[in-house]
Structure 1
Amino acid sequence: MRKRKWLFIIGIIVVILFLIIRYFEPEYAYMPPKEKVISKEKRSTGYDVWGKFITTEKAKQMNLSSDKGAIKINDQLLDLGRETFYKETYGNEVFLTDILGILDGPITLTNMTKAITALNGKGTTNLQVELAKTVKVGNKTFKKGEKIDTGIDVVKGTYAPLGMPITYSEGKAKVGISCAACHATTDPKTMQVMEGVTNPDLNTGLMLALATNSAAFFTHAEVKNIKQFMNSQSPVIKVRKGKKERLPNPEKLEKAVDQVLVKWPKGYFDSSIDMKSNPTQIPDCFTLGDHPFSWSGVAMAGPFKGLSVFSNNVHAQNSDSLSQAPASKALFGMSQDVYIATILQHAADQKYRYNPKSGKTPSEFFAKADPTPGVPGVNQMILPPSFPKITLMAPDGVIVSSKGKKVNEQNHAVSAWQNTLKPPKPPRKVSRNTMKQGRNVFTRAGCITCHAGSYLTNNQVISAREVGTEPTRAQAFKKTEKIFGESKMYAPNTNVPVPKDAKVLNVPTNHLNQEQIKLAWAKNGSPGGYKVPSLIGLCWSAPYLHDGGVAVGSSLKEIGIPGTIGKGKLVDPYQSLLAMIDRDLRQQVIISNSASSDLKTVRITGKGHEFWVDAKSGFSKKEQQALLDYLLSVEMPKK
């Protein structure tokens, strides 16, 4: 009787658990308690008013209000920012799992779970996952049972990947991605979390290439013209107004995209959608004083000096290619229907897989499957008042915002929280005298001309021709000129969903330099440019340069990307920074990179920024060393 009783109780528990999973669709994302975090916050309260910080006392005198654009910075907003950083996906698990098929190829959730369980709580900076099937990508065969480096971090004492929330919906488990996957990592010695530090070995290219529908990411690959994948046998579909167009061959496009993605070095990502492959190292999140944002400085308007615009980019574009459908004609030379069909014709889940023989237009098909009707894409977004135009406030055309929150609230929260982060203490201890000597060399060498002020940046965009780094990334926003509009946004206190009578504000942009805008956006015949980055936290951001091409290992024999990342060697900040200022060492880096056909394909060279502090410029080895010690040890200003 007792045995039957326990079996009955267990049965009830199983049924309850099933019902919870089936109807409540639980989700889990790990957010470390602050005692497991090395990076420290430096919080302050006040208001942000279109990029200007106003103290609480002064805000009261000015009678500021959110319906005029003021954003209150307090512990509640900062806590939301940290939570958003670790947990928020805006629903991108639909794109990653159901459309891209990140778990339908040789990487499966079962095998990821098996790999995490095998750690026995020890944690790792590089989760090695056993492949569930054999696949060929480019010229390389990945065999079933082989373990691959994912670069996914697992914090000590946990059993979940950092920055990859797991949800259960529509009868299956799905994986999404939050900010923390790329912009946090674990310290290999203590296994504590370093917030804001780049995940240096996250193998995004390989994981995307192994997805079953990586063609959904084709705008980030080397696809010069989608028509090159079309012929007389290509599927013909009905599009808007009764017209007919052809689709690219899904197998050929998939193969071409895979061949490019697999060439991305570990720790690199291509966040531009210009149909060129130009990945660079994932940036850190030590953003205070580092405006304008993005590689070319396009994020320069609006709250937090453009940081909210930059924060929006990841989820309004990079984790949901469908979000750019309204701009597909201008950006990619494709009708909206062909663009949607190209992404969905080989979708992992049948619900989102478009059949060219269905007789429906791709737009009609997607409208019925779309989990977020009323906005492009599948992520949780709103249409700003400027939609469908691209603006300084909305370079992606849309704004991610979750139902029940305020417009842009999560972006503002992440921006405010990022600005509190201070880099961890560098491992090298440098004396005050050495810091003084290094600063003196920094000034004499002219570095201070661009890397000026408390944050070692003049906050300017410099022409790509002057910088000399590979130019295509500087021109990634060029085609947006065709659909550029006036910056408008709903007041920060506007609820989501946006009511019809929501207050619309004009975003102040008159204070911005028009020449800087031309450079950042490559407008009006401009060659485009690269922003002058802050040099705070250099110890944690190697490899260097605007294309991420300057990499050297702990030994000077480990040269370039092929000699370091390509061989699983750690990139050494000191030696890599030496290659930034020493022309002879840099030339060795360039030669090493140029010998790699993979790097040539994805445009990583290590060329440019030819501002030398070496013997030929009149500086001794001792002065070089002092400069490097200074640069790798400089901290956030205390004010």
Structure 2
Amino acid sequence: MLRTVSVTRFASFQSILAMCALAFLCLSVACNRGKETAKVKGPHPASDGPGINVNPNPHQTGNAAAGRDVYRFETFGNEGFWTDAARLPKGMIDAKFTPKQALEAGLQIDIEAIDPNMRKMLEEELRTDLSPQNAPLLNDPKTMVALVNANAIVGIVAVDSSGDKKFDIMNGDKVGISCTICHTITDNSVFNMPNGGSVGRRVDGPAALTLNVGKLLAMANNSRAFYPNLQQTFLGVSIGRAPSGLGPNSTEAEVDAYLSNPQFYPIGTFDETQDGNGNPVKNVPLFRQDLAAPYGTAGEFRLLDDIG
């Protein structure tokens, strides 16, 4: 009996020693890993991308310049919706929308797309207090039209609908929207509006986090055209930030009130899904779309053509 107890105690003691040894080994490994991690970790500068200017593994085929132009100016035919259905260009013209107001709404201006004479005058005005007295061009709706015709307003694309190889949105040419409206900024080399847009050279890819999409949509003469993308009430149920949703009989004023309220449609967001839910999501940086399919923030689009 004593022998049995002794053997049992000895076996238990061996088990305890083995467990202690295993615990010590795990602790040692964890400590070593912690030291290695400590060497790797540290303060990292904020970045909107990979931090490189040249792709170390460039594609052997394709045309980078053409791809850049597609990214910047391709509308996938949505100018019909924006010009004829939503009537956004007409709304901007009727509202006497100015370049200064565009910057306040978070839009970006590509300084390199502007002709030299106007560029010089705008640069001079941007060094003033931007008042109508000191910055007449920036407060003139006609200047806004000229900038759209020059494709200098990032993401708002003039389309040569008439086929005369000129851009003139006041005489029949349509206006579409490209991906860059939410996914391009400038380098702020000329001007940066606090909590708004900027003027400078294009920087493709980073998110436009100060873009007030809701305010811009509300400017359309027929903002009800966006109804499928807005928060709706169906069978008494509504999902979104607003206490109640819109309905098929909601007025233009009611839709505009929803879009213009940053509590319901926050600045720096866009609701890309036609699901009746009020779910504008944060604009995100956009890089390497050849690796991104399926498309959309939630990956809900199999084809890029299906967006918008």
User: Conserved in 1, the CA contact under 8 Å of 2:223 and 2:252?
Assistant: yes
Count of aligned positions: 191
Q: CA shift at 1:111, angstroms? A: 4.3
SS in 2 for 1:218: helix
Q: CA shift at 1:255, angstroms? A: 3.4
Deviation digits for residues 537-557 of structure 1, max 9, x if unmatched?
A: xxxxxxxxxxxxxxxxxxxxx
User: Conserved in 2, the CA contact under 8 Å of 1:222 and 1:257?
Assistant: no
2:53 corresponds to = 40
Deviation digits for residues 287-331 of structure 1, max 9, x if unmatched?
A: 4887876444446xxxxxxxxx47x1xx5232xxxxxxxxxxxxx
User: Conserved in 1, the CA contact under 8 Å of 2:215 and 2:259?
Assistant: yes
Deviation digits for residues 478-506 of structure 1, max 9, x if unmatched?
A: xxxxxxxxxxxxxxxxxxxxxxxxxxxxx
User: Conserved in 2, the CA contact under 8 Å of 1:198 and 1:283?
Assistant: yes
The alignment status of 1:128 with 2:101, answered yes or no, reads yes
The two structures have a TM-score, normalised by structure 2, of 0.52
Deviation digits for residues 206-230 of structure 1, max 9, x if unmatched?
A: 11112121111112211123999xx
SS in 1 for 2:203: strand
State which of 79, 86, 106 in structure 2 corresponds to 1:151.
Answer: 106
State which of 188, 195, 201 in structure 1 corresponds to 2:204.
Answer: 195
State which of 205, 228, 231 in structure 1 corresponds to 2:214.
Answer: 205
State which of 89, 95, 111 in structure 1 corresponds to 2:75.
Answer: 89
State which of 151, 158, 165 in structure 1 corresponds to 2:157.
Answer: 165
1:278 corresponds to = 279
- Flag the 1:254–1:152 CA change in 2: closer, same or farther, 3 A: same
The alignment status of 1:255 with 2:253, answered yes or no, reads yes
Q: CA shift at 1:272, angstroms? A: 1.9
Q: CA shift at 1:149, angstroms? A: 2.4
Q: Which amino acid aligns with 2:111?
A: K
- Flag the 1:45–1:152 CA change in 2: closer, same or farther, 3 A: same
Q: Which amino acid aligns with 1:108?
A: I
Q: CA shift at 1:96, angstroms? A: 0.4
The alignment status of 1:265 with 2:263, answered yes or no, reads no
State which of 74, 87, 105 in structure 2 corresponds to 1:101.
Answer: 87
SS in 2 for 1:194: strand
% of aligned pairs identical?
28
CA distance in 2, matches of 1:111, 1:193: 26
Q: Matches of residues 200-599 of structure 1 in structure 2 within 5 Å?
A: 200-225=209-234, 248-249=248-249, 252-263=250-261, 264-287=265-288, 294-298=296-300, 309=302, 312=304, 316-318=306-308
Unaligned stretches of 5+ in structure 1?
Answer: 1-37, 47-72, 116-126, 130-147, 229-246, 300-308, 319-639
CA distance in 1, matches of 2:251, 2:175: 25
Q: CA shift at 1:161, angstroms? A: 0.9
- Flag the 1:276–1:158 CA change in 2: closer, same or farther, 3 A: same
CA distance in 1, matches of 2:86, 2:69: 26
User: Conserved in 2, the CA contact under 8 Å of 1:204 and 1:268?
Assistant: yes
CA distance in 2, matches of 1:109, 1:173: 17
The two structures have a TM-score, normalised by structure 1, of 0.27
User: Conserved in 1, the CA contact under 8 Å of 2:159 and 2:173?
Assistant: yes
Q: Which amino acid aligns with 1:74?
A: T
User: Conserved in 1, the CA contact under 8 Å of 2:159 and 2:175?
Assistant: yes
CA distance in 1, matches of 2:226, 2:188: 32
User: Conserved in 1, the CA contact under 8 Å of 2:95 and 2:219?
Assistant: no
Q: Matches of residues 4-43 of structure 1 in structure 2 within 5 Å?
A: 40-42=53-55
Q: CA shift at 1:198, angstroms? A: 0.8
Deviation digits for residues 158-213 of structure 1, max 9, x if unmatched?
A: 33212222135465232111122211101224623221101122221111112121
User: Conserved in 2, the CA contact under 8 Å of 1:39 and 1:194?
Assistant: no
Q: Which amino acid aligns with 1:87?
A: F
Q: CA shift at 1:156, angstroms? A: 2.4
Higher-Rg structure is 2
Deviation digits for residues 114-166 of structure 1, max 9, x if unmatched?
A: 63xxxxxxxxxxx525xxxxxxxxxxxxxxxxxx8221111224332122221
Q: CA shift at 1:83, angstroms? A: 1.5
Q: CA shift at 1:275, angstroms? A: 0.3
2:22 corresponds to = none
1:567 corresponds to = none
User: Conserved in 1, the CA contact under 8 Å of 2:112 and 2:201?
Assistant: no
CA distance in 2, matches of 1:290, 1:248: 34
User: Conserved in 2, the CA contact under 8 Å of 1:227 and 1:248?
Assistant: no
- Flag the 1:41–1:128 CA change in 2: closer, same or farther, 3 A: farther
State which of 57, 61, 67 in structure 2 corresponds to 1:74.
Answer: 61
Q: CA shift at 1:82, angstroms? A: 1.3
CA distance in 2, matches of 1:226, 1:257: 19
CA distance in 1, matches of 2:106, 2:161: 26
User: Conserved in 2, the CA contact under 8 Å of 1:268 and 1:281?
Assistant: yes
2:138 corresponds to = none
User: Conserved in 2, the CA contact under 8 Å of 1:270 and 1:279?
Assistant: yes
CA distance in 2, matches of 1:290, 1:83: 18
CA distance in 1, matches of 2:299, 2:257: 30
- Flag the 1:92–1:223 CA change in 2: closer, same or farther, 3 A: same
CA distance in 2, matches of 1:175, 1:292: 27
- Flag the 1:224–1:87 CA change in 2: closer, same or farther, 3 A: same
SS in 2 for 1:165: strand
SS in 1 for 2:88: coil
Q: Which amino acid aligns with 2:186?
A: T
Q: Which amino acid aligns with 2:155?
A: G
The alignment status of 1:180 with 2:153, answered yes or no, reads no
- Flag the 1:44–1:95 CA change in 2: closer, same or farther, 3 A: same
Q: Which amino acid aligns with 1:151?
A: G
SS in 1 for 2:207: coil
Q: CA shift at 1:104, angstroms? A: 2.4
CA distance in 2, matches of 1:111, 1:260: 22
User: Conserved in 1, the CA contact under 8 Å of 2:155 and 2:179?
Assistant: yes
